[in-house]
Amino acid sequence: MAASAPRKPAVGFIFVTLVLLMVGVGIIIPVLPGLITQFKGGSVAEGSESYGWLVGVFAAMQFIASPILGSLSDRFGRRKVILIALTGSAIDYVVLGLAPNMTWLFVARVISGATAGSLAACNAYIADVTPPEKRAQAYGMVGAAFGIGFVIGPALGGFFGHLSLRLPFFVAAGCVGLNALYGAFVLPESLLPENRRPFSWKRANPVGSLLALRRFRGVVDLAWMYFIFNFAGTMLQSVWVLYTGHRFGWSTLQVGLSLTYVGVMAIVVQGVLVKRIIARTGERKGLVLGLLISAFAMAGYGTATQSWVFIVLATFGALGGVTGPAAQALLTKHVPPNEQGALQGSLSGLTSLGYVFGPVIAAWSFGKALAASGSWRIEGVAFYEASLLMLVALALALRSFQLDDRVHAKLYPSA
């Protein structure tokens, strides 16, 4: 009997992997603050402070680990790195579920932040198996996977957390463990042996990985544009609950429903509309359009005085989600196959860095605005800051395009 042909790498494998991974992340969102508060003797104030530190530790570890895992995937292949990281995440959730005190929670978050760097290998996998002209669509599906996970995950976390505060952690471990098993039996390797390169600590550290990008024209500006875009997005996420509760008097249920709606819109845009928008506009114009929409929506959030206007803006602003896939596609075209992992590691590290500082700046700005009086009481200040950052990102993108065009004109003067 003839042996069966090896499975062909495809984006569908990574899509399922990311959905299961994000479901696991989303499951613990509703219960982790409660567990922390429990460890702090029921003090919400102390629990909130500790939760902030846990989020910061997770993001800091992801910032450090992402370039390392990305570079390791350039050396040993994407499959091995993804499977090892998924296994580490499953162990992390078990540690969280069994944690007897805050020290163990911090240990678990260190592990989780490090293994979250597997997203770099997943994104590099997509670049390996997708033609350049279809990468924006493929990265749109990645965004859709994130949306699905964050819609389903918190709902499951709330349900199981009602039964037991620790049960969701073990459910999350099961999701990620299933993910690892799925990958072990189904996920093929995507990086060809001839496209691998030696591992270097000089390129794998967060600073070195960013400096290494300077060798490729236009990449540094696009990378910083990607960072600023995500940084501004974290500012929106971090003050959404506080702002809507204060400005519109939304209840916990209303806030939850609004976030679910935002998640569903992200799925629609990333999974369906990105392909159509990029096909009509191209990646450059799609990126510019996404940043302009995001800047307008952010400014609108800060100005809106009615809750229905806020939701309309959220619907329109979801179209700004075309920015990420377009940027990813453009960046991958500038980097050779044997450095896609390093590129994605740098991008993941920059994104995680945004999660360290973005929420802090937004919350601080919002708090200062509420404490101010008269004309200085600008309650939507965090949204205005985010809008300005979107315009800065736009300027960087346009500068990158100009550099690309100048270099292309020198190489091909008769084109």
Intervals of the chain under pLDDT 70? 1-10, 42-49, 51-52, 117, 202-218, 252, 374-375, 407-415
Structure tokens at 237: 């996420």
Helices 118-129 and 340-371, axial angle in degrees (round to 10) = 130
What single string gives the DSSP state of each residue in 265-322?
HHHHIIIIIHHHHHHHHHHHHHHHHHHHHHHHHHHHHHH--SHHHHHHHHHHHGGGGG
Instruction: Identify the CA nearest to 74 among candidates 336, 345, 347, 342.
Output: 342
> What is the rounded CA–CA span in Å between residue 349 and residue 238?
19
- pLDDT tens string 3-31: 444 556 667 778 888 888 788 777 877 77
Residue 2 is predicted with a pLDDT of 43
6 assigned to some structural domain: no
Token pair in block for residue 305: 């005085």
* Predicted confidence (pLDDT) per residue in 73-113, tens digit: 888 888 888 888 888 888 888 998 898 888 888 888 888 88
Output phi, psi for 187, to 5 deg: -75, 115
Domain carrying residue 100: 11-192+200-407
The per-residue pLDDT for 4 is 45
pLDDT (0 to 100) of residue 153:
81
* CB of 403 closer than 8 Å to CB of 218: yes
Residue 314 lies in a domain: yes
pLDDT for 257 equals 78
- Rounded to whole angstroms, the Cα distance separating 343 from 333 reads 11
Q: What is the CATH number of the domain that holds 72?
A: 1.20.1250.20
The torsion of the CA quartet 328, 353, 11, 191, rounded to 10 degrees, works out to 90
Give domain status of residue 379, yes or no. Answer: yes
The answer to the question of residue 94 being in a domain is yes
Q: What is the pLDDT of residue 389?
A: 96
Establish if 98 belongs to a structural domain.
yes
Establish if 183 belongs to a structural domain. Answer: yes
What gap in Å lies between CA 365 and CA 371, rounded to an integer? 10
* Predicted pLDDT of residue 392: 96
Q: What is the pLDDT of residue 243?
A: 81
* CA dist., res. 22 & res. 14, Å (int): 12
pLDDT attached to residue 216: 64
pLDDT attached to residue 178:
85
Domain-located, residue 4: no
Q: Residue 274: how many CB atoms within 10 A of its CB?
A: 29
- Hunting for tokens 């249920």 — which residue is that? 253
What is the identity of the amino acid at 237?
Q
Distance CA 151, CA 184 (A): 26
pLDDT at 164: 85
Count: domains in the chain: 1
Does 318 reside within a domain? Answer: yes
Question: If 0-12 CB within 10 Å is exposed, 13-18 middle and 19+ buried, where does residue 268 land?
Answer: middle
